[in-house]
Structure 1
Amino acid sequence: MATSASTTSSNPSLMQTMRRIGRLAAPYFRSEERWMARGLLLAVVALNLGTVYMLVLNNQWFARFYDALQEKNETVFWREIVVFCWIAAGFIVMAILKFYLTQLLQLKWRAWMTRNYLQRWMSNNTFYRLELARYAQHLDAPPDNPDQRIQEDMQLFTDYTMNLSMGLLNAVVTLVSFVGILWGLSGDFSFTLGGREFTVAGSMVWLALVYCIAGTIITHYIGRPLIGLNFRQQRYEADFRHHLVRVREYSEAIALDRGAQVEHGQLGKRFGAVLGNYLQLIKKQKNLVAFTASFSQASVIFAFIVQAPRFFSGAIQLGQLMQVNSAFGRVQDSLSWFVDNYDRVAVWRATADRLTSFEAAMQAHANTAGALEQMPATGGAPALQADSLSIALPDGSTLLDNAALSVQPGDSVLLQGPSGSGKSTLFRALAGIWPFAKGRAQVPENAMFIPQRPYVPDGTLRDALAYPEPADHYSDALLRQALEDALLPDLALRLDDSDAWSQKLSGGEQQRLAIARVLLKKPAWLFADEATSALDAQAERTLYQRLAAQVHAAGGAMVSIAHRAAVGDHHQRRWTLTPEPEGAGARYRIVQSAA
């Protein structure tokens, strides 16, 4: 079995990570919403640049204000207070606009990405084939928890991409804006080495650079394990949540099996993985916080310590000292962006890796689906015809090889065979959803398939009955008649009731609801997979008579899978999956006979 795409098999470089993030981010800004997206992004960038400009004005204000305090110049003091109010007002307005437009861009970006991924995941039955790939030896296993990747990871990705990229932009622009100021204010640093005197211009700039490079290197080595831990934390959280949902969906079966204790143990095991990984995450984050907090606190007094001799000697005034400290703080903050945001970058990278693996899995499916599925359904075909039909299982073994099948209008065929012989798989192949099949098949257009476990969506009963069509395609009279014909008269007056019908209805009621859909939509061709296995003999006989009468009246045919011998009374022909001798190349062959 191939290694799951949900695990990281390598540690990509920074450039590889940035290219992955770029491939995830770029489509939105080239989409049909590109002009709005680019406009919002440009506005956010402009506001970030404006915010940095306000910081430059604020730095210049520091020198004038503190000099006025030192000189006890009341006139300049009050004038600078007014100037500060204008600077503060501009900063506040820009901060509000920046927050609003950033959040708006994130919202629209997430909405577009979610719609795009949902469309691709749901189209061409990709969601189904990705699950089948878990058991296919020749395909990579799909990423875990696609629901979590679409719902949570996209929100995290857009949030972190915007905030971190704008934070990095601010850091770069702030650095460019303040490095010149700090260079001019810091003065020269002279020292003697080996009998020679050396002078370093812009000493505070060089000190800030050395200080931050050392901090970045140490931060990287302390925080590097956070990337993998964050990746696994998201997966463990999703696994735990997924199992909680399964317990809720299968609550009755678990209760009947007395399986509460087992499920409690399984939930405890998954939650234990969540807690165990989170504890490791906390320990690594503790080390990172210890260093970054120390690094940040030391930077508060670093400039004062270095510039104190110049101040006490009278070379600079208080205002210039405060301006140097402010400029050093801005330069140091810019150079320390990586140090301050390492834990967030780790989450961002883990999220991008999860989305990238999901993207790669869907793309791989798109590239291989055409080669695997070579059974196009031709609409309007007068009969069901399959030639050179070969069906394999996900593990690569051949189920059927070079089979030929034919069903003419007016026929009724019963498909039988041992449990696990692939009867349902043959139906999936005829329906065009089984990717491990080759050959040619023509299936009439007006056909319906009833699976072993019918899907009953939550919501109103009328929506569940008309699914997947809109309920307003049918009148209330037709909906009620279909329920009554399917032996569900008690539900005929509950069309507008909303409920979790898959849990509310018994297995037999769910099967009758699936049959009610058939009676409502009146297909000419019907493929029923154990459609009455949960019904009593009388109900089964009545419903099969009605189904057969309907499809034959429409000029079609019926093919059924059933283990009960009584179902054969409603069919004229029989297909039996018979085991082939060992070494024959396929597990079964189809023997056709009269019912």
Structure 2
Amino acid sequence: MIRRLLPFLRDVWAIAGPFWRSEERWRARMLLAVVVALNLALVGMSVLLTYWQNTFYNVLEARNSDAFLDLLFRWHEDPQSGRTLPGFVYIATAYVLTAVYALYLRQALQIRWRRWITENLIAGWLNDRAHYRIGLTEAGTDNPDQRIADDARLFVDDTLILGLGLMNAVVTLGSFVIVLWTLSGPVTLFGASIPGYMVWVALLYSLIGTGLAHWIGRPLIRLNFLQQRVEADFRFALVRLRENGEGIALHAGEADEHRALSGRFRALVENWWSIMVATKRLTFFTAGFNQVAIIFPIAVAAPAYFAGRMSLGGLIQTSSAFESVQGSLSWFVSNYSNVTEWRATVDRLTGFRAAIDRAAATGGGLARSEAANDALALDGATLSLPDGRVLARDAALTLAPGERVLVQGPSGAGKSTLFRAIAGIWPFAEGRLALPPGKRLLFLPQRPYIPLGSLRRAVCYPEDAARFTDAEVAEVLSDAGLAALIPRLDEEDNWAKRLSGGEQQRLALARALLVKPDFLFLDEATASLDPASEAALHQVLKERLPQTAILSIAHRESVARFHDRTLRFAEGRLAPA
């Protein structure tokens, strides 16, 4: 068990450690120190309350009404022990205030930690196009959105809650074991005197409970991990249906989608039933274990009470102290289900971080260098698929300023892969790419990406919309044939749904007119337009961007007249047509 625990704790620290060493460390450490101090104060008040209970029940047994009122509302000096105890109203008020601020400040630490870890996961996912490379190479790394949104939150919450709970258990054990040792005294068993026998009874009781809880609840570790996965798979399928509603409706594919969704949900339900069965078995044990713990200490200490060696207050205090000691020792039993969920979360985050690292180390793509002139030059490029199959060997091309080159070839020959390699996002490529320094490259795929937000943001993406004036944005929309949308620039909508395929391609070309890149790559970027509109937009590009070099992928032969020369992909080679 220790061999499995140490690697797990290393994984936990690998996720948590960077935050406590980050720029947030001093504020985070201060918050944690205050939260720890408040939790320790709560333990201290719990210890004080056991002494108050001892005196309170002795006062009840003696029918002393004055002392009873003192213990409730004022201060009381116990003549037997010599202790001066505060009234219950003072203890309760201090306890409530401490508990409220312990929770409030812990939540403040939680949101700070969650913000930091979420921002770092997003940064790692987006840096070096890891989000794209993971999709190419990590088929088993499911639902990164859920790992960032849900698993990060669960990790922070569970780490703090379980960590503080374990600390409280340890401190409570250290505080109450002294009280219990003093109260229980020795017992003679088989002729041997055992001092502080109630402590040993609590220890034995808890060890048995912990071992049985782990044996009974162990299947929950795997089941909780799987439940997080099937929940995320089902949610992702629902999002996919929403995003592709038109295509599904046009294919009349609702019945098939229903079957697929039902299948995913069935997997979710089946795993949930397995969790229910495992939880039922664990709850049978833990509920029984906790119920027995209520009466067990009184039953063990009762002989001393009936023999007159212990007062009623002492019996109640012994029971409370035993409950605290046993509860601390049985922390693992009480939190076993939460620990299994936490472990599943740690495993998913660890796997996600490992996938990001592997994606960063997956190939280097084309070797990039600085060109000696203003032309882009590709030389000796070999393009492969993730499975190792080679698409092209020794591909070469030169693209000078203002030049327009068309690339054609059969589907699957590697035309789009060539663009991805030049863009630097395709890791399965070898060769050399020389780029003029300080030049801007813009790639427009067949299906443009339309971000959420205003139409202005969609036109200016990925630049900051504040860089451009209303007149500049309106002009490029008009040039792209979208003048009717100009009054809606600041309207926020799901524009990927509102605009047709042709309108989306017009909007993407408006971006090119706005940004004025030095090199523009068009991958079937006008394929959704009718021939007349396609020709008009190519003419606009030629007039508005005379110094921009354009490399186009297109199947229509009519597009060739807008280009200076044509290259063709055939049999793994890129050659002049």
- 8 Å CA contact 1:527, 1:558 repeated in 2: yes
2:182: which partner in 1? 184
Query: Residue 302 of structure 1 is aligned with which of 296, 319, 327?
Result: 296
1:104: which partner in 2? 108
Residues in 1 aligned to 2:535 and 2:223: alpha-carbon distance in whole angstroms: 58
Query: Residue 128 of structure 1 is aligned with which of 126, 129, 132?
Result: 132
1:375: which partner in 2? 367
Query: Residue 85 of structure 1 is aligned with which of 81, 85, 89?
Result: 89
Taking the TM superposition and a 5 Å limit, the aligned residue runs for 1:270-281 are 270-281=264-275
Query: Residue 546 of structure 1 is aligned with which of 540, 551, 557?
Result: 540
Structure 1 residue 12, shift from structure 2 partner:
7.5
Residues in 1 aligned to 2:98 and 2:351: alpha-carbon distance in whole angstroms: 38
1:470: which partner in 2? 464
Residues in 1 aligned to 2:520 and 2:544: alpha-carbon distance in whole angstroms: 10
Residues 341 and 381 from structure 1, CA distance in 2 versus in 1: closer, same or farther, beyond 3 angstroms? farther
Residues in 2 aligned to 1:12 and 1:419: alpha-carbon distance in whole angstroms: 53
Residues in 1 aligned to 2:512 and 2:152: alpha-carbon distance in whole angstroms: 39
Residues in 2 aligned to 1:76 and 1:130: alpha-carbon distance in whole angstroms: 71
Taking the TM superposition and a 5 Å limit, the aligned residue runs for 1:20-31 are 20-31=11-22
How many residue pairs are counted as aligned between the two chains?
Answer: 562
Residues in 1 aligned to 2:515 and 2:312: alpha-carbon distance in whole angstroms: 86
Query: 1:318 aligned to 2:312?
Result: yes
Structure 1 residue 205, shift from structure 2 partner:
0.6
Q: Which amino acid aligns with 2:121?
A: Y
Q: Which amino acid aligns with 1:166?
A: L
Taking the TM superposition and a 5 Å limit, the aligned residue runs for 1:522-537 are 522-537=516-531
2:575: which partner in 1? 591
Structure 1 residue 11, shift from structure 2 partner:
12
Residues in 1 aligned to 2:441 and 2:364: alpha-carbon distance in whole angstroms: 23
Q: Which amino acid aligns with 1:335?
A: L
Q: Tell me the alpha carbon deviations over residues 341-390 of structure 1, each in whole angstroms, 9 at most, x when there is no partner.
A: 00000000000110011111112233x14x52243264895011011211
- 8 Å CA contact 1:456, 1:502 repeated in 2: yes
Residues in 2 aligned to 1:391 and 1:452: alpha-carbon distance in whole angstroms: 20
- 8 Å CA contact 1:575, 1:591 repeated in 2: yes
- 8 Å CA contact 2:366, 2:424 repeated in 1: no
1:585: which partner in 2? none
Q: Which amino acid aligns with 2:250?
A: L
Residues 513 and 381 from structure 1, CA distance in 2 versus in 1: closer, same or farther, beyond 3 angstroms? farther
TM-score computed with the length of structure 1 as normaliser: 0.92
1:95: which partner in 2? 99
Taking the TM superposition and a 5 Å limit, the aligned residue runs for 1:172-321 are 172-192=170-190, 197-321=191-315
Please, which moves more after superposition, 31-40 or 468-477?
Answer: 468-477
Q: Which amino acid aligns with 1:151?
A: A
Q: Which amino acid aligns with 1:532?
A: T
Query: 1:428 aligned to 2:412?
Result: no
- 8 Å CA contact 2:187, 2:195 repeated in 1: yes
- 8 Å CA contact 1:485, 1:516 repeated in 2: yes
- 8 Å CA contact 2:366, 2:422 repeated in 1: no
Residues in 2 aligned to 1:18 and 1:190: alpha-carbon distance in whole angstroms: 42
1:147: which partner in 2? 145
Q: Which amino acid aligns with 2:377?
A: Q
Structure 1 residue 399, shift from structure 2 partner:
1.6
- 8 Å CA contact 1:388, 1:440 repeated in 2: yes
1:584: which partner in 2? none
2:448 aligned counterpart, secondary structure:
coil
Structure 1 residue 33, shift from structure 2 partner:
0.7
User: What percentage of residue pairs aligned between the two structures are identical?
Assistant: 48
Query: 1:66 aligned to 2:57?
Result: yes
Q: Which amino acid aligns with 2:34?
A: A
- 8 Å CA contact 2:202, 2:325 repeated in 1: yes
Query: Residue 40 of structure 1 is aligned with which of 31, 36, 49?
Result: 31
Taking the TM superposition and a 5 Å limit, the aligned residue runs for 1:327-338 are 327-338=321-332
Query: 1:114 aligned to 2:108?
Result: no
2:529 aligned counterpart, secondary structure:
coil
Query: Residue 478 of structure 2 is aligned with which of 484, 509, 517?
Result: 484
1:514 aligned counterpart, secondary structure:
helix
Please, which moves more after superposition, 491-500 or 252-261?
Answer: 491-500
Structure 1 residue 563, shift from structure 2 partner:
0.6
Q: Tell me the alpha carbon deviations over residues 234-253 of structure 1, each in whole angstroms, 9 at most, x when there is no partner.
A: 11111111111111111101
Structure 1 residue 439, shift from structure 2 partner:
1.5
Q: Which amino acid aligns with 2:131?
A: F
- 8 Å CA contact 2:203, 2:329 repeated in 1: yes
Instruction: List gaps (5 residues or longer) in structure 1.
Output: 1-9, 135-140, 580-587
Q: Tell me the alpha carbon deviations over residues 145-172 of structure 1, each in whole angstroms, 9 at most, x when there is no partner.
A: 1110110011101100000000000000
1:560: which partner in 2? 552
Residues 55 and 379 from structure 1, CA distance in 2 versus in 1: closer, same or farther, beyond 3 angstroms? farther
Residues 487 and 269 from structure 1, CA distance in 2 versus in 1: closer, same or farther, beyond 3 angstroms? same
- 8 Å CA contact 1:381, 1:442 repeated in 2: no
Query: 1:362 aligned to 2:341?
Result: no
Residues in 2 aligned to 1:377 and 1:458: alpha-carbon distance in whole angstroms: 35
2:384: which partner in 1? 392
Q: Which amino acid aligns with 1:126?
A: A
Instruction: List gaps (5 residues or longer) in structure 2.
Output: 74-86
Tell me which stretches of 4 or more aligned residues in structure 1 moved more than 3 Å. Answer: 377-381
Q: What root-mean-square deviation, in Å, do the aligned CA atoms of Structure 1 and Structure 2 show?
A: 1.6
Structure 1 residue 435, shift from structure 2 partner:
0.9
Structure 1 residue 316, shift from structure 2 partner:
1.0
Structure 1 residue 449, shift from structure 2 partner:
1.1
Please, which moves more after superposition, 481-490 or 159-168?
Answer: 481-490
Structure 1 residue 504, shift from structure 2 partner:
0.9
- 8 Å CA contact 2:370, 2:435 repeated in 1: yes
Query: 1:415 aligned to 2:407?
Result: yes
Residues 342 and 251 from structure 1, CA distance in 2 versus in 1: closer, same or farther, beyond 3 angstroms? same
Q: Which amino acid aligns with 1:460?
A: S
Q: Tell me the alpha carbon deviations over residues 107-133 of structure 1, each in whole angstroms, 9 at most, x when there is no partner.
A: 100001011111111111111111111
Residues in 2 aligned to 1:233 and 1:382: alpha-carbon distance in whole angstroms: 55
2:397: which partner in 1? 405
Q: Tell me the alpha carbon deviations over residues 493-549 of structure 1, each in whole angstroms, 9 at most, x when there is no partner.
A: 211222111111111111111111111222232110001111111001111111123
1:13 aligned counterpart, secondary structure:
helix
